[in-house]
Amino acid sequence: MSDRTDTSARIVAIELDQKSIVRWSPEVEHERNVAIFDLLEENRFRLLDGFSGPYRIVLSLRDSNLVMDVRREEGEESAEIVLAVRPFRRVIKDYFLICDSYFQAIKGAPPSRIEAIDMARRGLHNEGSDLLRDALQGRVELDHDTARRLFTLVCVLHIRG
């Protein structure tokens, strides 16, 4: 859990580069909005060997990379964190498949089936957030919940029409 009084280690604004986005369904739009809301409500994010926050972040895809454009809320400082997408591809693909199954199941499957799919979805979400934390290790300090919400936004960027 983050210390809300420590504004130097928090994200205060985050957006997805609109050029990186192809389409969103209503379910995806909802997931994006929830992830952003929850992320801004409570997060722990601090650049290591960089400038202190609070931070404004723009997430985008460039070539085969995830790009985090990190800027200080006030001032000129900025940093660009570039991560290869390849290590995330399998878990993102699996996460999309299980999310699709989940959205289909909530339309009429028995509660036990929905619960089983949701548990699998949460497991993949945790796996993706752990991969993200590992990829950012040594560059960014962030907590588990912040990594989960950022992973949701990384997935949103990968949706193709």
Per-residue pLDDT of the chain (161 residues; tens, 9 = 90+): 444 456 789 999 999 887 766 666 777 777 778 889 999 999 999 999 889 889 999 999 988 899 999 999 887 899 999 999 999 999 999 988 888 888 889 899 999 999 999 999 999 999 999 999 999 999 999 999 999 999 989 988 877 54
d(CA 87, CA 83): 9
d(CA 52, CA 99): 36
| 27 three-class SS | helix
d(CA 99, CA 50): 36
Helix (H) or strand (E) holding 135: helix 111-136
Q: Which residues contact 111 (CB under 8 A, 6 or more apart)?
A: none
Instruction: Note the pTM of the prediction, 2 decimals.
Output: 0.86
Domain ranges within the chain, ordered by starting residue: 7-157
